[in-house]
Structure 1
């Protein structure tokens, strides 16, 4: 057993699973959750799902899987210093993107547009649907039957309309906090921040590697990056050589990541002390997020985030690819709504049993959301005869 703080989630005091199961003899409840996630089909598919760059654009760019692993690594490091449950943090981190569509946020936006008349599409809610229903591994229940604490962390955001629907099906469950203003566990709060730290850092790396942004641009516009870039050169002047640029970038990012982690640890400790929380219940009731950046680091990180949004995510080359990706999603949705038998057999069966158009649309959304980038591109080419994204 880890040396847990009093305000950490204790696996011996978990609120349990939706379907009762005997305890595992050698693993905690949260270790068991992590293992189920790692062995799930949805987790394996993340290796072929876009982070920023579509899968076929390069073998070394991050995917949803490598992103999730990086979030888990950062999360565990911070959790250990704060006395939080590392296994729970890892489980949430590894599962938080299971519901993401192919083609990243572009695919999500397109699927949400298609689903707008039918309740919309939220990738956080879809991640919960994956672990609660869509994974098919156990004879006794649908989904992975994860613990309440892991499921709560997976549902990072949720609209009020969807929260009310979840609350009707599961009173006092994972959506309650969106309705009554309470907070999630510290482990869930930590995963939210580790997610942001990870994607800002690795998108800098991938963006420079791709040639779409440069270190010079970053130094001119992002004081946070410029600080660590200059400190690296002060210690290692020879990294100015052209053949050493990769090391210069990596060391600058490494230093930035380390300081952000230390900042979160120090700032969160201060917040926890000020709040005076001594239990998970007090954390939930305190009314504010306690795992935080300092005000200075938050502001500096926001500048980096805004730079990446404008210069990388909205770069013309990225946008051109994302426009094609959205067309793939829209075309697939339209095709499956008209001919649901084009889907995999288990989805065909669900579509036949669906009660009404919106229920059938949700089945189609489940099918598309579960696709990898390359499978979606290949299916689109098979159905339409058009090759939009380099499908094989």
Structure 2
């Protein structure tokens, strides 16, 4: 079947275990170097700054678990959505989205930088498994990782493929209509939003950055939060979001968090609130999607929902609640007092590191990237190799490389 095809054909393996092609994909991602490096890459807080907080690795495991459960309930192949959840952040650079912005600016001469486009590049080119094809995952698993299946376009911040990766991207997208995403990619994307929003609020409450009692008591602060969310995460107006926020803060599951003190009982209440929110966000999307396709006579009885046979349905209220939780992490954690100085330094480190490596050439690169630099036909291609090198680094490695190469 076309979904199980690999870009580079491989001889069939018969080990007696009867693993499916998609189970093999999952194993390849789990055993990859890029996956291991996520352990010290920033999620929201700097990786390694607190033994409670999440990294890109723990976030990816959580996304995979949520996506697998949700996909299975809809009829998707659970291993395909699991692979997408595990792999979706492999292309993210040091220092989270802040690092992504820094690399995008310095990479403009070679087409910019985007974490999702870099993920495709890691999976299909940079990770060592099959020469010329990266991990050589199946078409279905690669398609499920495509959150933004289009190249860079004016007016769109996100994109999923660089110009020099179009050949394999077009192979992955064979049979897809335009920019349509398969259901598995939509499930992974919603699982990512759910994990990101709920867990980052959990971390923020535990770290003392998010004080729900203040938010509950201060109408002006609630309005400011809604304005931030309307500007960054939601198409809803600030006024409409205010109504949704009122209902969210009235949820009995959140009430104990207003007096969070880090005790055992408080941590149990925090974990309970996290579980309730994730369960609600997942169950509502599953139920709404099933209802949508059960009431449509043209689609009823079509069997499991998967591939391009269905779209994930997430009700407006649930999307708005999720956006508000993301906004809490944005306003109270990422934009907390003093954070911008740290972010500015992180951007300087990555920018200066790219320039130092570009000037040094192949001698400054890892053995995987040095031959690619030597074989690159022009300056833009050589810059792309340098960007690949820097994006692959963990947070501590980026700092160490910068100190070694620039003395900063």
Q: TM-score range by the shorter chain?
A: 0.7 to 0.9
- Name the CA shift for 1:292/1:95 in 2 (closer, same or farther; >3 Å): same
- Name the CA shift for 1:348/1:144 in 2 (closer, same or farther; >3 Å): same
Instruction: Please report how far the alpha carbon of residue 169 of structure 1 lies from its aligned counterpart in structure 2 after TM superposition.
Output: 1.9
Which runs of no fewer than 5 residues in structure 2 stay unpaired? 153-159, 223-244
TM-score (norm 1): 0.85
Partner of residue 157, structure 1: 148
State how 1:1-392 maps to structure 2 within 5 Å: 14-25=3-14, 26-138=18-130, 141-161=132-152, 165=163, 169-170=167-168, 172-175=170-173, 180-217=177-214, 219=216, 221=222, 222-223=245-246, 225-228=248-251, 230-231=252-253, 243=263, 244-274=265-295, 276-277=298-299, 278=302, 284=308, 290-340=311-361, 341-386=363-408
Cα deviation digits, residues 116-146 of structure 1 (max 9, x gap): 12111111111111111111134x5441100
Cα deviation digits, residues 316-374 of structure 1 (max 9, x gap): 33333222111110010110111122221332222122111100000001000100000
2:355 alignment partner, SS class: helix
Cα deviation digits, residues 229-252 of structure 1 (max 9, x gap): x2465xx89x88873322222222
Instruction: Please report how far the alpha carbon of residue 262 of structure 1 lies from its aligned counterpart in structure 2 after TM superposition.
Output: 1.1
Are the aligned partners of 1:124 and 1:158 in contact in 2 as well (CA < 8 Å)?
Answer: no
Instruction: Please report how far the alpha carbon of residue 168 of structure 1 lies from its aligned counterpart in structure 2 after TM superposition.
Output: 5.3
- Name the CA shift for 1:384/1:166 in 2 (closer, same or farther; >3 Å): closer
- 1: distance between equivalents of 2:95 and 2:34? 15
1:346 alignment partner, SS class: coil
- 2: distance between equivalents of 1:153 and 1:29? 14
- Name the CA shift for 1:252/1:224 in 2 (closer, same or farther; >3 Å): farther
TM-score (norm 2): 0.82
Instruction: Please report how far the alpha carbon of residue 294 of structure 1 lies from its aligned counterpart in structure 2 after TM superposition.
Output: 1.4
Instruction: Please report how far the alpha carbon of residue 94 of structure 1 lies from its aligned counterpart in structure 2 after TM superposition.
Output: 0.3
2:250 alignment partner, SS class: helix
Cα RMSD for the two superposed structures: 2.8
How many residue pairs get matched? 366
2:369 alignment partner, SS class: helix
Partner of residue 237, structure 2: none
- 2: distance between equivalents of 1:121 and 1:226? 37
- 1: distance between equivalents of 2:266 and 2:106? 44
Instruction: Please report how far the alpha carbon of residue 80 of structure 1 lies from its aligned counterpart in structure 2 after TM superposition.
Output: 2.2
2:48 alignment partner, SS class: helix
Instruction: Please report how far the alpha carbon of residue 217 of structure 1 lies from its aligned counterpart in structure 2 after TM superposition.
Output: 4.0
Instruction: Please report how far the alpha carbon of residue 183 of structure 1 lies from its aligned counterpart in structure 2 after TM superposition.
Output: 2.2
Which runs of no fewer than 5 residues in structure 1 stay unpaired? 1-11, 387-392
Are the aligned partners of 1:200 and 1:304 in contact in 2 as well (CA < 8 Å)?
Answer: yes
Cα deviation digits, residues 202-238 of structure 1 (max 9, x gap): 100111122222232454544465233x2465xx89x
- 1: distance between equivalents of 2:138 and 2:113? 24
- 2: distance between equivalents of 1:82 and 1:69? 20
